[in-house]
C-alpha cells in the first residue's frame, strides 16, 4: 500500500503544475480581454498581393 504515498505525491504535483500554469496565464494578461480574440479569429488574413499592386 506504500504506493499510495507515491501516487498522492504525483497527483498533488500535477495539480500544482496546473495551478502554476494558471498563475502564469493570469499574470501575463491572457485573461484580461476574453472578448476581442474571439472576434479577431473571424477576420480573414489578407493575401499579400491583393492590394492594388497589380
Partner 1 sequence: MPETLTLVKPHCYHCGEECLTTAYETDQKQFCCQGCQSVYTILSGAGFCSYYTYNDHPGTTRLRNDKKYDYLSDPTILAELLDYTDERLSIITLYIPHIHCSSCLWLLEQLNRFNPAIAYSRVDFLKKQLIVRFDPKGINLQQLVELLNDIGYEPLISLQDIIKKQNKEVKSNLVQKIAVAGFCFGNVMLLSFPEYFGLSAFEQNFKTFFGYLNILFGIPVVFYSGWGYFVSAWHNIRNKILNIDFPLALGIAVLFIRTVVEILTHSGAGFADTLCGLVFFLLVGKFVQQKTYHHISFERDYRSFFPVAVQVIAEGKEKPVPLAELKTGHRMVIRHNEIIPADAMLLQGEALIDFSFVTGEAVPVNRTLGEIIYAGGRQTGEAIELEVVKPVSQSYLTQLWNNEAFTRKQDTRMKTFNETVSKYFTIVLVAIAVGALLVWLPFNYRRGIDAFTAVLIVACPCALALSTPFTMSAALSIFDRNFFYLKNTAVVEQLARINTLVMDKTGTITTGGSKSIGLDAELNAEQRQLIFSACTNSIHPLSRMICKYLGDLIKLPVTGYREIPGKGITANVNGHQVRVGNDEMIFGEVKEGNNLTRVHLMIDDAYLGYFGFQHEYRAGLETVTGLSPAYELYLLSGDQDHERAELLRFFPDNAHLFFNQSPQQKLDHISQLQQKGLKVMMLGDGLNDSGALKQSDLGVAVTDNVNNFSPGSDAIMDGRAFNKLPAFLRFSKDTVKIIHISFLISLTYNLIGLSYAVTGTLSPLIAAVLMPLSTATIISFTTLATHFAAKRRKLL
Q: Does 3 bind partner 1 (CB under 8 A)?
A: no
C-alpha cell recorded at residue 14: 500535477
Q: Which three cell numbers stand for residue 18?
A: 496546473
For the record, the C-alpha cell of 24 comes out as 502564469
Q: Between vectors from CA 39 to CA 33 and to CA 45, what angle results, nearest 5°?
A: 120
- Asked whether position 16 contacts partner 1 by CB under 8 A, the answer is yes
Work out which of 7, 8, 10, 30 binds partner 1, going by CB under 8 A. 8
- Summarize as ranges the residues that interact with partner 1 (CB under 8 A): 1, 4-5, 8, 11-12, 15-16, 18-19, 22-23, 26, 31-33, 35-36, 39-40, 42-44, 46, 50-52
Amino acid at each position: 500500500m506504500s504506493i499510495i504515498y507515491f501516487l498522492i505525491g504525483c497527483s498533488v504535483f500535477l495539480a500544482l503544475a496546473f495551478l502554476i500554469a494558471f498563475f502564469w496565464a493570469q499574470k501575463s494578461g491572457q485573461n484580461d480581454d476574453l472578448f476581442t480574440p474571439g472576434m479577431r479569429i473571424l477576420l480573414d488574413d489578407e493575401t499579400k498581393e491583393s492590394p492594388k499592386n497589380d
